[in-house]
């Protein structure tokens, strides 16, 4: 996997970890640790949840990984 692909995946997980814990009433850091246990959690995005949701849903058609994430975690 290229460095760019890894950065896209990390961004997608960051957005997902902003959205789903809010829905499940869990802390961002704990959700991140469950998803990517070998990595430190990035900073929580400082924009509204809908922006993260829109970024993920908007890139689904262009990226199979993001499409699979959206399907698995029922986003858009």
Q: Say whether pTM exceeds 0.75.
A: yes
d(CA 25, CA 48): 16
User: Could you report how far apart the first and last alpha carbons of the chain are, in Å?
Assistant: 26
pLDDT tens digit at each of 76 positions of the chain: 899 999 999 999 999 999 999 999 999 999 999 999 999 999 999 999 999 999 999 999 999 999 999 999 998 7
Distance CA 36, CA 13 (A): 8
Q: Do 28 and 41 form a contact (C-beta atoms < 8 A)?
A: yes
């Amino acid at each position: 996997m290229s460095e760019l692909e890894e950065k896209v995946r990390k961004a997608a997980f960051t957005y997902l970890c902003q959205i789903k814990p809010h829905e499940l009433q869990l802390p961002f850091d704990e959700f991140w640790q469950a998803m990517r246990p070998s990595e430190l959690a990035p900073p929580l995005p400082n924009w509204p949840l809908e922006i993260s949701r829109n970024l993920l849903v908007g890139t689904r058609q262009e990226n199979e990984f993001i499409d699979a994430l959206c399907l698995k975690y029922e986003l858009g």
